[in-house]
Amino acid sequence: MMEVLTYFFTDPIAQKVILGVAVIGGISGVVGTFSFLRKKTLIADAISHSVLPGVCIGFMFAGTKDPLSLMIGALVIGWFSVWSIDYISRATKLSEDTAIALVSTLFFAKGSVLLSIISKSQNAEQSGLKNFLFGKAATMTSVDIQVFIIASLVILSLVILFFKPFQLLCFNSEFAKTIGIKTKRIEFLLSSLTVLTVAIGIQAVGVVLMSALLIAPAASARYWTNKLPLMLVIAAIFGIISGILGVVFSTVKDNMPTGPWIVFSLFLFTLITLIFAPQKGWLSIRKRTKTNSRKIGEENILKTMYQLKEQGLEIVSFRDFLEKRAMDTSILYLFFKKLVKSGFLIENENHFSLTKIGETEAARIIRSHRLWELYLTKRMNFKDDHIHGTAETIEHLITPEIEKELLKELDFPTSDPHNKDIPY
């Protein structure tokens, strides 16, 4: 393993590949974040397909594989594809996803027709054009990498310069319009940046996989933070690391394409993120749901115990409890055990009663429930037979602060709409 690593960081060719891929990964992460937030990531797919005819046209005009003219061709046609999608989904009754699929496949077909025309012309320079289809990370030249770095610096400085309008466009384009930002122009700029990114990135991973470079880092970053600047940084880092990992993975066998391995590591990142991310990840959502449902279950039991006590039944057997509130017996048993353990209930030969703190807690829940019912009838003009349902839900959510507000609002009432006492 160490040998592999030292090889990568000392061998000049490997260094070059890694540098190139890292630059591409980073800049795709940054630009992709904006596409992701605007929910326009699939347009990137159409752009990358239309880079093929763009490159072919650039080549036909220049007659050589000069990176600059290829890139200009890609930019022009890429932009034309964005415009076509916009036009089709605006001016016809076709939906946007139809427009995207239509434009991408149509442009790709044109590109492949042009490619077969070029490959029949006797131009010796044309051999490398197909690299745009599948990527050629392993054979990047120093000139390529210089072009990548310059383009990335241009993109990065534009992002910094136009950060505010971009941010507004992503989160609230209507608002941006009202404060006088020319949203059409900003959108044009943002699309152009995407096209430029695709035009350079496609050389590393190829037509089909380019959209992964734009989508995956941004999608992952979104799960780690809510702040745009931080999100851009995280997406860039994900892009860079996946790029490097892709290069490392692809050395397992000779002639292995780099692009798919980059996408593969991107996917791993995304999957890990989707499952493990704090707050938004699958695990933490599951955990939260579990905690919540346990809390609600426990609170419902305490509440029922309190109601039984109000009816004069202080020492409660399972049977008494189930008569008041139907539940799965085994779950009820577990809940009782837990409540005893945390000191809310005491058990005496399968009979249960509320402890002091148990009673205070139960009173708090009942109080929230009855206050809310009262609030609904007094302030919201609900009929008193329509209020129990919502109160049943909200009693678990009312915080001490809200409770204080309710008490003040209702002027410290003593009984609820059903003439039951509100306990303090």
Partner 1 sequence: MIGINDFLTLITALLIAWSCSLLGCFLVLRKVVMVGDAISHSVLPGIVIAYLVSSNFNSGFILIGAAVFGVFTTFIIDFLHKKLKLQEDASIGITFTWLFALGVILIALFTDGNADLDQDCVLFGELGITFLDKIIIDGRLYGTRSMWMILPVFILVLLFVVFGFKGLQIISFHEEFAQSKGINVSFWHYVFMALVSITTVMSFESVGAILVVGLLVIPPATAYLLNDKLIPMLWISCLFSSIACVTGYYASIYFDVSVSSMIIVVAGCFFLLAILYSKLSRKKMEIIDEKAF
Cβ atoms 191, 82 nearer than 8 A: yes
Cβ proximity to partner 1, 282 vs 318, nearer residue: 282
If DSSP codes are grouped into helix, strand and coil, which group holds residue 418? coil
The token pair at 301 is: 């039991």
Between 257 and 423, name the residue whose CB sits nearer to partner 1: 257
Per-residue binding letters, 58-77, with partner 1 (x by CB under 8 A): --------------------
Do 243 and 250 touch, CB atoms closer than 8 A? no
By CB under 8 A, what part of segment 241-260 binds partner 1?
A: 253, 255-257, 259-260
Beta bridge partners of 421: 415
Binding of partner 1 by 136 (CB under 8 A)? no
Q: Which of residues 89-108 bind partner 1 (CB under 8 A)?
A: 91-95, 97-98, 100-102, 104-106, 108
Q: How far is the CB of 340 from partner 1 (least distance, A)?
A: 36
Q: Is the separation of the CB atoms in 44 and 32 below 8 Å?
A: yes
Q: What angle do CA 7, 145, 66 make, to 5 degrees?
A: 135
- Work out the number of other CB atoms within 10 angstroms of the CB of residue 161: 11
- The correct pick among 74, 133, 138, 234 for binding partner 1 (CB under 8 A) is 133
Distance (Å) of CA 346 to CA 279, 343, 354, 359? 35, 7, 6, 11
Q: What is the DSSP string of 189-236?
A: HHHHHHHHHHHHHHHHH-TTTHHHHHHHHHHHHHHH-S-HHHHHHHHH
Q: Check residue 280 for interaction with partner 1 (CB under 8 A).
A: yes
Please give the residues from 161 up to 220 whose contact with partner 1 meets the rule CB under 8 A: 207-209, 211-212, 214-216, 218-219
Residue 127 as a binder of partner 1 (CB under 8 A): the answer is: no
Instruction: Specify the residue, 31 or 398, whose C-beta has the smaller distance to partner 1.
Output: 31
Is the Cβ of residue 151 or residue 209 nearer to partner 1 in the bound state?
209
15, 116, 342, 415: residue in contact with partner 1 (rule CB under 8 A): 116
Closest separation in Å from C-beta 280 to partner 1:
7
Integer Cα distance of 18 and 5 in angstroms: 12
Residue 408 beta carbon to partner 1: minimum distance, rounded to whole angstroms = 38
By CB under 8 A, residue 44 contacts partner 1: yes
Q: From the list 40, 303, 364, 369, which residue makes contact with partner 1 (rule: CB under 8 A)? A: 40
User: Of 15-23, 113-121, 166-174, 404-412, which segment contacts partner 1 by CB under 8 A?
Assistant: 113-121
Binding to partner 1, residues 210-229 (CB under 8 A) = 211-212, 214-216, 218-219
- Which residues have CB under 8 Å from 199's CB, separation 6+? 51, 54, 71, 74, 75, 78
Which of 45/416 has CB closer to partner 1? Answer: 45
- SS3 sequence, 21-73? HHHHHHHHHHHHHHHHHCCCHHHHHHHHHHHHHHHHHHHHHHCCCCHHHHHHH
State the number of binding residues for partner 1 (CB under 8 A).
59
* Secondary element (H or E) of residue 164: helix 163-171
- Residues 67 and 383: their CA atoms lie apart, in Å, by 74
Sites of contact with partner 1 (CB under 8 A):
36, 39-42, 44-45, 49, 88, 91-95, 97-98, 100-102, 104-106, 108-110, 112-113, 116-117, 120, 133-134, 207-209, 211-212, 214-216, 218-219, 253, 255-257, 259-261, 263-264, 266-267, 270, 274-275, 280, 282, 285
